[in-house]
Each structure stands twice: as C-alpha cells, then as structure tokens.
C-alpha cells in the first residue's frame, strides 16, 4: 500500500472501532452535533456509508446508495452489521489500486479509488468526533495535514454539490486559510456552485486558523468564534446552514 492509502485505512479502522465501542456502551446517547440522532442512528449512517464505499470499490460499476442494505433494527445485530462492514472497508482499501478508475460523487469530477479512501477516512473520523462529544469525552484531536485534506474535499468536492439556492443569501468571495498546514482556498458566492480555487488571493471575507478548527467549523461542528475573521463577517455568520 502507498503511505496515504495506509494512513486512510488506519484512520478508518481506528475511528470506526472507537465509534462502535462508544455506541455499544451508550447506544441511546443523544448526538448534539447531529440533531435528532442517537448513537444507534449514527452507527446505521456510518455503517451504510462504509458499505456504499465497499460496493463502489469492488463492483466495477457505479453503485447507488439505494442498492445498499439498511441497518438492522436491533442493537446487537446492528453493531455486528457495522463491524462487518468496517472490516470489509479496511480490506477493500488495502487491495484496491488508489489510481483505479472508480465512480465518485465529488463536484471536481475525480473518479479514482483514492477519492473513496479519503472520503471514508474523513466520514469516520468526523463521526467519531460526534460520538465522543455525545458521551462527554474530549474528542480525539484531528491532525493538521489530515484536516487540510478534509477542508479541500469539503470546498472542492462536496460543498459545490449543494443546490444553488442554498447560497442565495451569500455574496462576494471567501478565503479559507489554514495556519498550521499548507492550504488556502477561495470560494466565489456570486457564481455558485463552483469548486473552490486553491490559491492565495484577497477576498471579501477571510477565515484563518488551525486546519482542524476550520474543518470542524465548515462541517458545522463548532462556531466560527475563535477563528480569525477578516472583512464581511456576515458571510460566515450562519455557516452551519451550509453544513452538509
């Protein structure tokens, strides 16, 4: 495996195992960062995402999410189903060439297996963060370069997939700048939905800070408070409405 492939596999397996353990111990705990969900619901969501990734990495064709089995209802069966899917995903990452042509749903048009490796690493790590918050733990820190990769995925591949009307109240440009890892991005809200440009330019609004804090803010897991905001703060005041 390549080093990136190995890191993504390790993140998936470690984060996924922690999530299963916390859910088994606190099944009905409310997840404050996922309104209306408990840890049992979170397990169902992440487990289905894992199985969707495995299906696309192994089927040789595009597999729609509707083709993936729903999680069982009972706690024991759901946890077993989840752990089985997690093991399958770890194996799929290990045996799949990162550059293999695989359908992916990002706005950038990237269609290679590594896209799924990265997506599942961030999906699983972010939801472990949710689970840890749900049980009152201090969340596991997210490493700066890993977080910068998540910011890039969010701004280039995921955010532009939202309907244009979601951006109707935002105008001008936004510069997102990580301070502890390489990474700068610019969004133009007057031409949505477009992938962010990876560049350093002056914008109407700028947000700077550690990559992990930026990533959590972009995903609606923390407020913009504590990050440096320059220019028109109204652009980022209600960012959680764009959290995917």
pLDDT score of 193: 79
Q: Tell me the pTM.
A: 0.96
Superfamily the domain 3-134 falls into: dinb family like domain (1.20.120.450)
Cβ neighbours, 10 Å, residue 41: 18
pLDDT score of 244: 64
211 SS3 class: helix
For the chain, give percent helix, strand, coil, nearest 5: 50, 10, 40
pLDDT at 229 over 90: yes
Domain coordinates of the chain in residue numbers? 3-134, 163-242
What's the pLDDT tens digit per position in 64-107?
Answer: 999 999 999 999 999 999 999 999 999 999 999 999 999 999 99
Average pLDDT, the chain: 95
pLDDT score of 237: 85
Q: What is the layout of strands, in order, in the sheet containing 205-209?
A: 184-188, 173-178, 205-209, 228-231
Cβ neighbours, 10 Å, residue 36: 7
What fold is seen in the domain 163-242?
Nonspecific Lipid-transfer Protein; Chain A (3.30.1050)
205 SS3 class: strand
């Amino acid at each position: 495996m390549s080093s990136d492939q190995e890191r993504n596999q390790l993140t998936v397996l470690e984060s996924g195992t922690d999530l299963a353990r916390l859910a088994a111990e606190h099944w009905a705990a409310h997840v404050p960062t996922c309104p209306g969900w408990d840890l049992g619901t979170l397990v169902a969501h992440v487990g289905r995402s894992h199985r969707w990734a495995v299906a696309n990495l192994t089927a040789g064709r595009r597999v729609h999410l509707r083709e993936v089995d729903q999680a069982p209802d009972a706690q024991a069966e759901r946890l077993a189903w989840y752990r089985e899917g997690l093991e399958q995903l770890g194996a799929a990452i290990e045996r799949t060439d990162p550059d293999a042509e695989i359908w992916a749903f990002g706005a950038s048009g990237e269609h290679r297996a590594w896209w799924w490796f990265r997506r599942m690493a961030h999906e699983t790590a972010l939801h472990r963060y949710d689970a840890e918050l749900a049980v009152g733990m201090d969340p596991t820190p997210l490493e700066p370069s890993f977080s910068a990769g998540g910011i890039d995925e969010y701004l280039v591949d995921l955010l532009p997939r939202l309907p244009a009307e979601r951006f109707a109240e935002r105008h001008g440009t936004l510069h997102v700048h990580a301070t502890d890892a390489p990474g700068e991005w610019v969004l133009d809200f007057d031409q949505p939905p477009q992938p962010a440009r990876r560049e350093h330019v002056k914008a109407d609004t700028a947000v700077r800070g550690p990559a992990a804090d930026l990533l959590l803010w972009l995903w609606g897991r923390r407020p913009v408070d504590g990050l440096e905001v320059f220019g028109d703060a109204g652009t980022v005041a209600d960012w959680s409405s764009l959290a995917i």
